[in-house]
Structure 1
């Protein structure tokens, strides 16, 4: 009787392990269309439709080879709020951009990010198109970011273009807008007013030296 009981327990444990392995395999298997936030999606070769994904232990970061579509309705209101406060550009600062990026806990999009506004922690390798780019998220863009209004990022490496303002914590490359602000810059700023850690200048600004501690 004890032998049968032990065999039943062993079989039960094996079933649980197999179920867990199957779940992990399903997470790793790429999907063509997926949604976020979701604990059931890890890899996407196609389209990720996302609403609002925060850095959280319970939310699985996604790797997307394709397109990330953001439909956060709150993003409609942010451009209007920033337009009203455009005169307080000095106050936009780092607190509006977010904390240091944690790439291992962020969505990674290899391709294109298209959104009203991106409020998810995201690493975009490629092209980013949005109404007001990244807001309140420790975002990283490697490539090109284009917005019809504003670009807000933590880190940009490449080209960032908008008609009104580009604001970043860390920039490596080119910023083009009416107003450009970067706290840690290696590159060129072109616009009506440009600010980096070294100087403030109209029309064109630059810095190619390491930031002094």
Structure 2
């Protein structure tokens, strides 16, 4: 049975990525907006105008959902001053203090045979794509993909190629590269995640952490407690997969 602290950490991390939606009247949702001609420019203030589709340098309060914009691209630097998720750091600190209880009770059996490890994609617009460097005190509040280096408090991507370093963690659909943070989750991993809690639906890389979980293990898990719903290599104090439970080394 997982402890309440682990649940609190995971739920809080995911809440950080939740989009605040303003309830509007149906007549507003049904409006048909007149298309506007978009253009590229060197600098853009975020949230960016619907007239801009590409910049080299973006700065501001971050990217949010806007139904009037389909896609926007940053080729270079995206710099955000976003204070929204800072409260989550306190919850992460509490979770670290209670990690011995988490590890001692973490059988992860409530995840439906591993299906609960699958994460859902966002379908918001605009779809922001960053090619380069993202520096943020918060996270994206719309669908995002990235090629490059992400340094932020937390973040969520549909597709990510590169390195992500966060305080709380990174949630990714398809990940090629490395992510470091308290909590790292992905549907497909080709690379490595380093954190207190790592989860993958399909692992084709390496988990390094205190608690690691995956549905399909085609890589390696290294941690205090490793859980796989298939066979696969595991190194840790206690390892459990579809074939056996065994300390130190399991396969």
TM over 0.5: yes
The CA deviation at 1:50 is: 4.2
> Is residue 180–residue 193 contact of structure 2 (8 Å, CA) maintained in 1?
yes
Query: Which ranges in structure 2 are unaligned for 5 or more consecutive residues?
Result: 1-33, 97-101, 234-251
Distance 2:63 2:56 in 1: 20
Distance 2:61 2:223 in 1: 38
| 1:42 equivalent among 40, 45, 53 | 53
Distance 2:171 2:151 in 1: 12
Task: Give yes or no for the alignment of 1:165 onto 2:173.
Answer: no
* Residues 99-150 of structure 1 deviation map (CA, whole Å, 9 limit, x = unaligned): 335698410000011112213311111000011233xxx5332111011342
1:72 corresponding residue in structure 2? 82
Of 177-186 and 96-105, more deviation after overlay is shown by: 96-105
> Is residue 45–residue 65 contact of structure 1 (8 Å, CA) maintained in 2?
yes
TM-score by length of 1: 0.67
Task: Give yes or no for the alignment of 1:107 onto 2:128.
Answer: yes
TM-score by length of 2: 0.58
| 2:193 equivalent among 164, 170, 175 | 175
| 1:128 equivalent among 140, 145, 150 | 150
> Is residue 46–residue 63 contact of structure 2 (8 Å, CA) maintained in 1?
no
Task: Give yes or no for the alignment of 1:150 onto 2:169.
Answer: yes
The CA deviation at 1:189 is: 0.9
Q: Which structure has more helix as a fraction of its residues? A: 1
Of 139-148 and 76-85, more deviation after overlay is shown by: 76-85
Query: Which ranges in structure 1 are unaligned for 5 or more consecutive residues?
Result: 1-19, 209-213
Of 42-51 and 173-182, more deviation after overlay is shown by: 42-51
> Is residue 66–residue 109 contact of structure 1 (8 Å, CA) maintained in 2?
yes
Cα 1:94–1:51 change in 2 (3 A) is farther
The CA deviation at 1:72 is: 2.7
Higher relative contact order structure (alpha carbons within 8 Å, sequence separation ≥ 6): 2
Cα 1:95–1:114 change in 2 (3 A) is farther
